[in-house]
Amino acid sequence: MKRTWWKEAVVYQIYWRSFLDTNGDGFGDLQGVIAKLDYIQSLGVDVIWLNPCYESPDRDNGYDISEYTTIMEKAGTMQIWETLLQEVHTRGMKLIMDLVVNHTSDQHPWFLESRSSKDNPKRDYYIWRDPKADGSAPNNWRSYFEPSTWTLDETTGQYYFHSFAVEQPDLNWESPALREEIYRMMRWWLDKGIDGFRMDAVALLAKQEGFPDAEHPEDISYLANNPGVHEYLHEMHEQVLKHYDILTVGELGFIKPEDGPLYTGEDRGELNTLFHFEVADEMPSWDMLRFKEIQTRWYQALKDKGWNSQFLNNHDHTRQVTRYGNDRDFRVESAKLLGTLVHTLPGMPYIYQGEEIGMTGVRFSSIEDYDDIAMKNKYRDLVAAGRDPQEVFESLLPLSRDNSRTPMQWDASEHGGFTTGTPWIKVNPNHTEINVEQALADPNSVFYYYKKLIQLRKENPVMVYGDYFDLSEGHEELYIYKREFEGTRWLVMLNHSDRENTFTLPAGYDESGKELVIANYADVTGEESIQETTLRPHEARVYQI
C-alpha cells in the first residue's frame, strides 16, 4: 500500500473542557490546550483531535452546534483558536477538528427558520413528517438518547427527526442546498489550515427510505449505513476533501468489516480511515476471544484496501484500564498492556487524554454529580417507567460517558490542578496518586511507556504496514501475534489476566538473534529464552525475531 503521513500518525484526543482551565470558570479552554502543547509534544504524538468547540447551547457538550464558524465562549475566541493552530504547527504537529454534520442544535438559525413554517425555504434542511393517523410519531424508532427519534413541533403540527437528543435535530442530506452549505463551511475551516476532520456520526447521514416501523425498535442499527450514505461521502470528497492533504476519520457506528473498504477504500474517494464500534459499543467488558475475532475480521477486510483505527476509549467510552483492564491490582501493568495492544495492532492508534497516565473511570455517589445527557436521559426514562432509582443509577455507572470526562489530573493539589474555580464536573478523587506530575517524575510510569511506543512507530514501519497473524487463537487470556514487514518480524506477547500463563513458541520460530523491543516488567532484558515463556499478570513483551 502507498505510504502516507496519516497512516503513520498517532493521534491524541483532547476533550478540551476537561483538559485545563486557565480563567477559573471551571471549564477547560483553548488557552489551556495551548499551555500544555509542550507536554503533548513531549509524548511524541503527530496529530491532535480537538472535540467540538463551536458555538453551542452545550446540551450535549458541544455536539449540538448553533454556529459552525464561531468558537464558543467557554472555549475562547477565534483568535485564541488561531493561535492554537499556529502553535500546534510550530511544534510540527497537526490539528483535526470535529465535524458534526448529521445534526445541529435546535438553536441553530437554520432550525429556527426551518421550524417557523412549512413553506420556509429552509424547511427541507431538516426532516419533517406528519403524525400517523392517530397523531402519534411517524414511526417507532428509538434515538440514541431518547425513547423516540421524533418530536412534535406545535408550530406546524409536524414531527422532526433526531437520532440523538430532542435538542439535536438531524439535517436533511437529501437537500442539495443544505449539502452545499455544509461543503462551504468545511472549506472555510480547511482554508484556515486545519489538517483534517474527525467526522461525527457520518454513518447516519442517509436515512431509511419511507421511515418504516422497525420490527425490533430497541436495536437502533436502522439509523446507520442506509443506501445513499456512500453517495453523500463521495460527493463530499469530490467537492471538498480531495482538494486538501488531510486526515479524515469517520465515526461509523454499526458498520461491519465488509463496509470498511466501501468507506475507506483508496479507489472509492470517500474517507481515509474509520472508527468502527464492534469493541466500544458491543463488547461491554473484556472478552479475549471476541476481541481477537474482531481484530482478525477487520484486518482481513481492510488489508490492502482501507485503513482502520485502534482505540479502547474516548470521551464516550469508559476509560480502558477500568473497563477493559484491571485498575485495582495491576493498574500500571494493565494500562501498559492495553497501550501495547492499541499501538501494535494494525490501524492508527488513538490516545484519549489522561490515558497516557493510566487515568481510571469514576464512581460518584449521586446522579447529581453526573452531567452526561445520555446517562441522565436514560435515568429519567427508566425512573419514570417505575424502576427503582438507586438500582437504575447503579446500572448506569459502568458505561456512563462521564467516566472519561472527569478533568485531566495534572497534580495532587485540589481539583488536580485542573482549575482554581469549581470544576464543571468533579475531579476523580484518585488524582492525589494518579497525575501528570507523578508520571513525569517516575521513569517507570505509563507516560514514558507510551512515549516509547510512539517513538517506536517512527522507527519501525512494521508497526504501521506490517501483516498481522494471531498465534493464539482460542486462548482466553493470552494474546500472541506477529507483525511482518519487508523481512522484519515482531512478536507481541500479552497476558491479559490476573494470573500467570505459559506460551510455547510454535515450530519454525528461531529465536537466536532476537531483540527486545519493549516490555512492561522491568526485569525482562531480551537475554531470556522465549521457547517457553511464562507471562506474569498483565505482562506485555514485544520482540523482534
Beta-carbon contacts of residue 20 (< 8 Å; ≥ 6 apart): 28, 29, 32, 33, 35, 36, 408, 410, 418
| Binding of residue 100 to ligand TEU (CB under 6 A) | yes
Could you give the 3-state DSSP secondary structure of residue 283? Answer: coil
Q: Total residues contacting Ca ion (rule CB under 5 A)?
A: 5
Annotate each residue in 484-523 with x if it binds ligand TEU (CB under 6 A) or - if it does not, as one string: ----------------------------------------
Is 394 designated active site?
no
| Binding of residue 21 to Ca ion (CB under 5 A) | yes
* Torsion on CA atoms 162, 164, 167, 173, rounded to nearest 10: -40
Q: Which of 106, 251, 278, 539 is catalytic?
A: 251
The partner in contact with residue 251, picked from ligand TEU, Ca ion, none with C-beta cut-offs of 5 to 8 angstroms by kind, is: ligand TEU
| Binding of residue 46 to ligand TEU (CB under 6 A) | no
The values of phi and psi at residue 160, to 5°, are -110, 160
Q: How far is the CB of 218 from ligand TEU (least distance, A)?
A: 14
Q: How far is the CB of 4 from ligand TEU (least distance, A)?
A: 25
DSSP strand pairing (348-352 vs 309-310):
parallel
* Closer residue to Ca ion in complex, CB, 25/87: 25
DSSP summary character for residue 161: E
Q: Do the Cβ atoms of 170 and 163 come closer than 8 Å?
A: yes
Q: Do the Cβ atoms of 337 and 343 come closer than 8 Å?
A: no
Of 63, 159, 298, 424, the one binding ligand TEU (CB under 6 A) is 63
The partner in contact with residue 23, picked from Ca ion, ligand TEU, none with C-beta cut-offs of 5 to 8 angstroms by kind, is: Ca ion
| Binding of residue 106 to ligand TEU (CB under 6 A) | no
5 grid coordinates: 503521513
Q: Calculate the CA 44 to chain-centre distance.
A: 19
Angstrom distances, CA of residue 493 to CA of 470, 473, 501: 11, 13, 11
Of 101, 186, 240, 280, the one binding ligand TEU (CB under 6 A) is 280
Of 316, 327, 356, 402, the one binding ligand TEU (CB under 6 A) is 316
* Closer residue to Ca ion in complex, CB, 26/260: 26
* Torsion on CA atoms 415, 417, 419, 421, rounded to nearest 10: 50
- Comparing CA positions, the residue from 277, 270, 271 lying closest to residue 256 is 277
Could you tell me which stretch among 275-283, 504-512, 513-521, 526-534 binds ligand TEU (CB under 6 A)?
Answer: 275-283
Q: How far is the CB of 406 from Ca ion (least distance, A)?
A: 16
| Binding of residue 80 to ligand TEU (CB under 6 A) | no
- Comparing CA positions, the residue from 122, 242, 213 lying closest to residue 175 is 122
Beta-carbon contacts of residue 258 (< 8 Å; ≥ 6 apart): 301
Is 251 designated active site?
yes
Residues 130-159 that bind ligand TEU (CB under 6 A): 144
Q: How far is the CB of 105 from ligand TEU (least distance, A)?
A: 10
* Closer residue to ligand TEU in complex, CB, 200/327: 200
Q: Calculate the CA 358 to chain-centre distance.
A: 17
Annotate each residue in 240-259 with x if it binds ligand TEU (CB under 6 A) or - if it does not, as one string: -----------x-x------
Sign of CA dihedral 355, 359, 360, 366: negative
* Closer residue to ligand TEU in complex, CB, 195/278: 278
| Binding of residue 281 to ligand TEU (CB under 6 A) | yes
- Comparing CA positions, the residue from 247, 309, 315, 250 lying closest to residue 63 is 315
Of 15, 111, 161, 164, the one binding ligand TEU (CB under 6 A) is 164
Question: Residues interacting with ligand TEU, by CB under 6 A?
Answer: 60, 63, 100, 144, 164, 200-201, 251, 253, 277, 280-281, 315-316
Q: Which of the residues are catalytic? A: 200, 251
